Every structure is written in C-alpha cells, then in structure tokens.
Structure 1
Amino acid sequence: MHHSFKQFSAVILGLTLFLGSCSKGEHSPEPEVPVNTKTALKISAGVGFGNILTDQRGFALYFFAPDANGTSTCTGSCESVWPVFYAEDATLPANINIADITTITRADGKKQTAFKGWPLYYYASDTKSGEVKGDGVGGSWFVAKSDYSIMLAKTQLVGANGKNYTADTKEGNGISDYLTDAAGRTLYAFTPDTYNVNTYTRADLSNNATWPIFESEIINLPSLINKDLVMQITAVGKKQLTFKGHPLYYFGPDAKRGETKGVSVPAPGVWPILNLSSPVNP
C-alpha cells in the first residue's frame, strides 16, 4: 500500500509538471526574433552627399549606370572593386517602401539586393562609415539614394523595330548614355518642343498614353547633373520635368525598365534620348 502511494504521488507530480510546462508554452510563448544573417539596409548621412543608402555600419552603397535593365553587369575584376551588396532578411528604414527592395540572382549564381531595380554595390576604397569616394567614378557609378528624380543609364539603344541605335539617332552598335526615371524607365524629348514648352500633349490628354508626361518633383539628382539643368514646368495641368529646356516623356510601349523602343518611333530623331552632351533646347 505504501509502495503504491509513492508510485501514485510520482505520477501526480509528473503530470503536474507536464501540464505546467504546457500551460507556460501556450500562454507565454518565447518571442520570435528575426535573424539578420547578412546586413541591414538603412539611410545614413554620407559626408557631403546628404542622406544615402548604406549597410547597417553606414558604408555607402552605389548604383551602376549599365545596370539600367535590372541585371548586374559588374562582374570579374569589376566586382573586386565594387563588391556585391546582399541583405538577407534586411531591416528596412520606416520611410522606405518594402516593394522597392528586391533580390536578384546574378549570372554567377550570387544573390544581390536591388533598390528600385538597381543592383547595389559597395566601393572597395570606402574604408569607413560616411565615406562616398565612389560617386561619379567613370561617369557610371552613383551613390544610392532613395529619392532620385532622374538617373543616368548606359546601355545599347534598341528601337521598336529591333534595330540598334546610338545616341546621335543613327543605326549602329555602341553604349549610349541617357536619362531614365528613378526606376530605370527611359526618358525622351520631343524634337518639335521649344524651350521648356510641351507642344505634344493635347489638352484632353488623349495622346498622353502613347508618350506620357514625366511627372515628378525635383528632389535629388545624380552628382554629374547640374541642378540648373533640370526644371519643372506645368503642361496641361501636370507637373513635368525638363532637362536643358527639353520637356521629358516616357514611351508607353516601353513596358519595362531598360527598354528604349521610342528611339525609332515614328522615325529616328523624332523622340531622342537625352544625356549630358545634349544641346540646350533653343
């Protein structure tokens, strides 16, 4: 009898501990702490550059103009100077739209974080927080910012007819510099426009879908673009940016970033791209 009581007590004690542990697990779960296995993305102060995108240490990140179509083109020896930035499970600043952060897989199989479709890189010569030594290098590298109004791209121009063009509106192979919006969509000028005057868009906007007005505020510009070259005008009630006096437009059939179909429509030279070498609109 005494032996049975001891066994019974042991069972009761075990059941009590078991139920207690279940109760603790149900009502007081351990909080799940997200593990940042790589590095965080944040906005920091870059010396002389205002607010820039950095990793969690404050090291500057960069965009590469030839990456306009969203594909990383910096490989091999280029990558040794401009290392890839990859933020797995990145912690984002409150004022950044999570939809602007994506991950791409490079041709070499590595993953890379992109912002508004621009793959992000470090610059090997930046040795401490706040340094921005890589901005403007080769006319192709720009410190990453969350609020550029326009960007500079460098790719082969390909018209809607499938032919290759150069910046002088002629058929041919060659990398051309041209303006895009912050997300890499090509911007065009309309040759008949006069200085800061949109002569294309109808008052009823019936043709705006074909060549949409580029509506934007002037916020931040790449360092190679003098702020005096960019203005905002009002055209048919819309705020349109101009560059060197040329009102800026999209081409509706450019369905994705990096496409330049408009350079051949309706004929080369009618809707040219613009770059730092473009003349001021008379």
Structure 2
Amino acid sequence: MKLKVNTWLLFSLLFVTIFSSCSKNDEETTAPPTVAGKKTLKTVTNATFGTVITDGDGRTLYFFSIDANGSSGCTGGCETAWPVFFAEDLTNIPGLAATDLATITRADGKRQTTYKGWPLYYFAGDTAPLEVKGDASGGTWFVAKPDYSIMLASTQLVGNDGKNYLENTSEGTGITQYLTDASGRTLYGFTPDRFNVNTYTRADLSNNAIWPIYESAVLNVPSVLARNMFAQITVAGRTQLTYKGRPLYYFGPDTKRGETKGVSVPAPGVWPILTLNTTALNP
C-alpha cells in the first residue's frame, strides 16, 4: 500500500511538472513578439523637401557625400551627431524598391542600411518626427530622398593614370565635391561642348560605351544646387541631362561608385568633373 501511495505521489508531481513546463512554453510561444529595437523605413511628404525617407516613426534620414564609394566615412565623434541607421527587415516598403536597399558592415563591425548605395544616418539635432534640421550641414549632409536625379560626392579625385587630382585639374591631394548620379557614379562634362549641345556622341551611338550620356529626367537635386541649373536635351534619340548648359556623361571604365578615372583621360581638363563652382556655358 505504501508503495502504491508513493507511486501515485510521484506520478502526480511528474504530471504537475510537465504541465507547468508546457504552460510556460505555450506562454512564450503565443505572447506577442517584442518589437523593441526593430526599425523599418517609409517615405513621407515634407512641405520643403517633398518626398523624404524616414524610419518607421517618421524620423528623417540622411546621406553623407563622403560615402560615395558605398562605405561609411562617419565614425567616432561624427557618429555621435549622426547616428547610424539599421533595419533588419527591408522587404515590402512602399515607395522604395527592394533592389535599392541593402546592408553593409562597417569597419567598426556595426551593420548599416543603405539606399542606392548611400549609408543612412539620423541627425541628433532632429528631436521630433519630420524635422529636417541636418540638411546641407557642412555642405556634405543631405536629406535622404528616393527621387534624386543628381547627388554630390566628396572624395579624392584619382585619374585613370593613378595620380591624384584637384578640382582645378592640377595634380594634388585634397577632397573635391562633385556631381554624381543618384547612385554615386561620377558625372563629367566635355570641354568642347557648347551650351546644351553634345559635340561628342555620334548619331549611331557607336562611341557611347566610352563616354555614355547620362540619361535622366530633371527630378530633385541636393539643396545646395539650384534645380533650374539642370535641363534636358535630345541626343541620338535619347534624353541627356545637362548642368549649367553642360551635357553630362559617365566614363565607361568607372565601374565602381566613387571612381573618377575619367579626370585624366586623355589629359586632365578634357573631361572634367562638375562642381558647384563649375562655370555655366553661355547660350
């Protein structure tokens, strides 16, 4: 009889233990998943800047022109003022193509979300959703937008000859800010061109692979540039964007963002990069 009682008690304790364990697991499984720290992206309309990219709470995000090569150049104290943005889930974001979104791993090991290759940041001075206080800061920080037709890069110019160049086409070491497309690929002018006249591209486009024309609509540009400085012309049946009357081109061998090989081809000054200080051509 004693053996039977002990057996029954043991069975009862085992049943309670199993039931309690199952109940705990069920609670963990069915409880709402935590969303703390989870971030996402969206687009919102700003009265001054139009459509801008924000996080899921409406906090504005920014591009840094120094990041033209696709890696982050903001570390240390810079990161205090411009915190890194990272979202784990980049799928199904209205207004943003999934192919334009990616994640990089920074030199410090942190992950950072990019849009069209530009790492995304917050600005510490934006204390409320939809504030855009950081735009044009230092002339290198610009509000993130999905519809730029032009962006600005700030890097050392390195020619196809491997030499360093400055904005004035002379050899030298220093950072130059210049025009790129929305994805950070360098744009050039052709010195012989006339006001809104492309003198390089052949009618059959047989030389377009060497210096491809930049085909783009006049959309949005960084706030330090005047939108009315851009126009469209028709070249060989295609639409080419111009800046201050200068037709815009890529250089074929620039296969990576941030490359500026064309500045030395065939000699410095023939195919210059374009900047805020570029002289406008006269009509």
| Residue in structure 2 matched with residue 215 of structure 1 by the alignment | 215
Q: SS in structure 1 opposite 2:263?
A: helix
| Residue in structure 2 matched with residue 82 of structure 1 by the alignment | 82
| Residue in structure 2 matched with residue 71 of structure 1 by the alignment | 71
Q: Tell me the CA shift for residue 34 of structure 1.
A: 11
Q: SS in structure 2 opposite 1:210?
A: coil
Q: How many residues align?
A: 252
| Residue in structure 2 matched with residue 20 of structure 1 by the alignment | none
| Residue in structure 1 matched with residue 262 of structure 2 by the alignment | 262
Shifted more, 53-62 versus 91-100: the winner is: 91-100
The equivalences for 1:137-156 within 5 A come to 137-156=137-156
Q: 1:59 to 1:164 in 2, by over 3 A?
A: same
What are the Cα deviations for residues 32-60 of structure 1, in whole angstroms up to 9, with x where unaligned? Answer: x9978520110012342111000001000
What are the Cα deviations for residues 187-228 of structure 1, in whole angstroms up to 9, with x where unaligned? Answer: 000000001100000001010000000000111111111011
State the AA in 1 paired with 2:94. A
State the AA in 2 paired with 1:46. N
| Residue in structure 2 matched with residue 175 of structure 1 by the alignment | 175
Moved over 4 A (4+): 33-37
State the AA in 2 paired with 1:254. D
Confirm or deny that 1:161 pairs with 2:142. Answer: no
Q: Is the 8 A contact 2:209 2:252 kept in 1?
A: yes
Q: SS in structure 1 opposite 2:241?
A: strand
Distance 2:136 2:103 in 1: 25
Shifted more, 33-42 versus 144-153: the winner is: 33-42
The alignment-based identity, stated in percent, is 63
| Residue in structure 1 matched with residue 114 of structure 2 by the alignment | 114
Distance 1:212 1:271 in 2: 12
State the AA in 1 paired with 2:73. T
State the AA in 2 paired with 1:178. Y
RMSD, aligned CA: 1.7
For normalisation by structure 2, the TM-score amounts to: 0.86
Q: Where does structure 2 lack aligned partners over 5 or more consecutive residues? A: 1-29
Q: SS in structure 1 opposite 2:262?
A: helix
Q: SS in structure 1 opposite 2:51?
A: strand
Distance 1:158 1:141 in 2: 23
For normalisation by structure 1, the TM-score amounts to: 0.86
